[in-house]
Structure 1
Amino acid sequence: MTTIELKQKWSELSENPATSGFRSLRISSDCICELYLGVNKEGNRCLILALPRFKQLNFKGVQKENLSIEYFRETNLIVLQLTDNDFNDLFDDLVLSLYHSIKSISHVDEYSNHFIQAFYRWSEFFEDKKSDLLPEEAIKGLIGELLVLKLLINEHGSHDINILLNSWKGPYDKGNDFELENKNLEVKTKSPSGIEVKIASEYQLEVASGKGLELVVVDVQSDFSSGLHIRDVILQIKKLIQESYGDISIFWKALNQKNISSKNFRFYDRYRFKPVNWISYNCSDVNFPKLSKSNIPEEICALKYTLKTNMLTSFILRKGDF
């Protein structure tokens, strides 16, 4: 099941809207359990799980912001329903993610539990995030991290996709931006004409025990005519995740930490950046110029300083163009 195939099925359902209840369509014959797409009389999209007659649930419906789940005991259906069509694309992500996670499961207790837990895991992503929009510099920095995430996915391939998604820690504002198995990455984004990057604390370039540390400097150019919106980069990564059958809820959870959702990322369309290049520096080298927790007096704290990247050429590990 692909995004294109799913959109085609929604189109078939929408041609003849329901006058009562739900108009439904089996999502795929490849799915062992009876999973259906549905549209209610208001035109809202639904995902319906039909349970065997012998299986009864002790479950009460739950209403969250823009998303609800309800159990109809008479027909033995669990219905996950979208109440705001502005979230249709995100609902498609939920449908595809859930479909691929349960399509091969034959035990009713297991697939029904997956279905219900998906509601709780995804419901926070359907909340309106109109307030607290990020400033331009924050969006620029986030685009830098997203570009590095995209590089990692392309470099490591689909078999590590969920590990890579979980390694992205930047939006959580703790530790390094990426925490991989053998190394951590700290990402800084600047304009091509700039030479300085700001280090926000004595912990950012602190090498974790038994791991390497790289400073990845990403150059992006403000370009409203041909640059990328943040939503462009998000959609590019989303496509890679879905092609690799990864758990896209991990990605949306990280973005949600910065109040970015599929509904509000268009509010940032006034910012466009053209990716130029990236350089990775070896911060594990004992000669790398830095002030970190392990090499400053304990009396010093809350440290902030600036690094001149044009003086770090001897520490370059890798570099490339976008």
Structure 2
Amino acid sequence: MIPTDTPWSGLEAGKVDTRRVLASARWNWFWAVMPRVDVAFVLQLADLPKPTPDLPMLRNLEIRFQTLPGGPILYIRLKDSAQLELFETLCRDVMAAGELAETEAEALERAIGRTFRWHYLLRGGKLEVLSEETQKGLIGEIEVLKLLIPTLGAKTTLTAWTGPSGAPKDFELKADCIEVKARRGASQPFVKITNEFQLADVPDRRLWLAVLAVDKVQPPHGRTLPEYVSEVTELLEQTEPSAIMDWDLHLADAGFDILHDYSTWRWIVSSPDFYAVTKDFPRIAAPVPLGLSSVSYALALSACAPFRTDWGAVREKLKEAEHP
């Protein structure tokens, strides 16, 4: 039984019945009831995308493409009626994201991207803004992304960006790994290594350490985290728009949401310094003695000086490996 105070009230059960969400909407959004009396949210499409994009998998939702007599659709079906209020919020948020699009393809991309963000939140993601330390770390990784995208391409770079997923290294490429560390410029010349795996060797791959100074400043100086994010978004829009969804998914995994208010934090960031983590590099690396784990330590940058290299040399190594 569908409650009367929901957008689905009055729709006929036992068949696919729909009602347009908003007559003035740019795209074709519908409230729907599926044959099993499940409520759903539908985006009607002129054409199915090729290739068909990946769709999130949620415990209480079914998200699918389907071709009906009236044309193809993307639908989101609620499988747990107890979550009806939350589902309505999700649907309206997905529609709000899609309505910002200039084309149907972009509307679909935004709708799926927003659903992936809900996927992140519903599996235990955080609703609050990122902490200062997490913002610093994300800005550091974004600065390295900005170097890698023109060198390797957006798709390759975003596939390699494993930091948001909690992997031991921030970037894992075909023949190289990069660990990124953000530090305060005025602090003691050390970086914190948070576990024994961050600087551990990876078989058949070179390892690089990238160190950046990320400092909090007062307005009007510096930029907010959303401004650093927007810079990469604009770069992708100009060079590789098909990678924007991957970018959004990585940001969601990192806990970033553009709707959060980051206006009270402004940051300036240095260009990264690169170090080749080779055999004699100062580090505590896995395997550590039996019984020890989660080993963190401060690494003096002065001890790393003999291993310092420049971005140009690193870039050539990366290009050779990815495009032999």
The alignment of Structure 1 onto Structure 2 pairs a total of residues equal to: 256
Matched, 1:293 2:293: no
Q: Which residue pairs with 1:278 in the alignment?
A: 272
* Contact kept in structure 2, 1:218 and 1:279, CA below 8 Å: yes
Q: Which residue pairs with 2:309 in the alignment?
A: 317
* Contact kept in structure 1, 2:196 and 2:294, CA below 8 Å: yes
Partner Cα distance (1:146, 1:282) in 2: 20
One-letter amino acid matched to 1:292: A
Q: Which residue pairs with 2:166 in the alignment?
A: 173
* Contact kept in structure 2, 1:200 and 1:304, CA below 8 Å: yes
Structure 1, unaligned runs of 5 or more: 1-18, 26-36, 41-45, 53-62, 100-114
Structure 2, unaligned runs of 5 or more: 1-19, 31-41, 49-57, 77-90, 313-324
Q: Which residue pairs with 1:75 in the alignment?
A: 70
What is the deviation of 1:72? Answer: 9.4
One-letter amino acid matched to 1:50: A
Instruction: State the secondary structure of the residue aligned to 2:180.
Output: strand
* Contact kept in structure 1, 2:183 and 2:212, CA below 8 Å: yes
Most deviating of 187-196 and 238-247 = 238-247
Partner Cα distance (1:191, 1:90) in 2: 40
Q: Which residue pairs with 2:8 in the alignment?
A: none
Instruction: State the secondary structure of the residue aligned to 1:50.
Output: coil
* Contact kept in structure 2, 1:126 and 1:261, CA below 8 Å: no
Most deviating of 119-128 and 166-175 = 119-128
What are the equivalent positions in structure 2 for 1:112-191 lying under 5 Å apart? 122-126=114-118, 131-156=127-152, 160-191=153-184
Partner Cα distance (1:273, 1:49) in 2: 42
What are the equivalent positions in structure 2 for 1:1-322 lying under 5 Å apart? 22=23, 37-38=27-28, 48-50=44-46, 73=68, 75-76=70-71, 78=73, 83-84=92-93, 87-88=96-97, 92=101, 96=105, 122-126=114-118, 131-156=127-152, 160-194=153-187, 195-225=189-219, 226-243=221-238, 244-264=240-260, 267-284=261-278, 286-294=279-287, 296-318=288-310
What is the deviation of 1:263? Answer: 2.1
What is the deviation of 1:94? Answer: 9.4
Deviation readout 1:14-33 (Å, 9 max, x if unpaired): xxxxx9964587xxxxxxxx
One-letter amino acid matched to 2:299: L
* Contact kept in structure 1, 2:282 and 2:303, CA below 8 Å: no
Q: What TM-score does the superposition give when structure 1 sets the normalisation length?
A: 0.65
Q: What TM-score does the superposition give when structure 2 sets the normalisation length?
A: 0.65
Q: CA, structure 1 residues 168+23, in 2 after alignment: closer, same or farther (shift >3 Å)?
A: same
Instruction: State the secondary structure of the residue aligned to 1:260.
Output: coil
Instruction: State the secondary structure of the residue aligned to 1:289.
Output: coil
* Contact kept in structure 1, 2:97 and 2:111, CA below 8 Å: no
Q: Which residue pairs with 1:6 in the alignment?
A: none
Partner Cα distance (1:96, 1:76) in 2: 15
Q: Which residue pairs with 2:83 in the alignment?
A: none
Deviation readout 1:89-125 (Å, 9 max, x if unpaired): 79539955577xxxxxxxxxxxxxxx9xx96665122
Deviation readout 1:145-176 (Å, 9 max, x if unpaired): 111111111333xxx31111011111111220
One-letter amino acid matched to 1:124: F
One-letter amino acid matched to 1:152: L
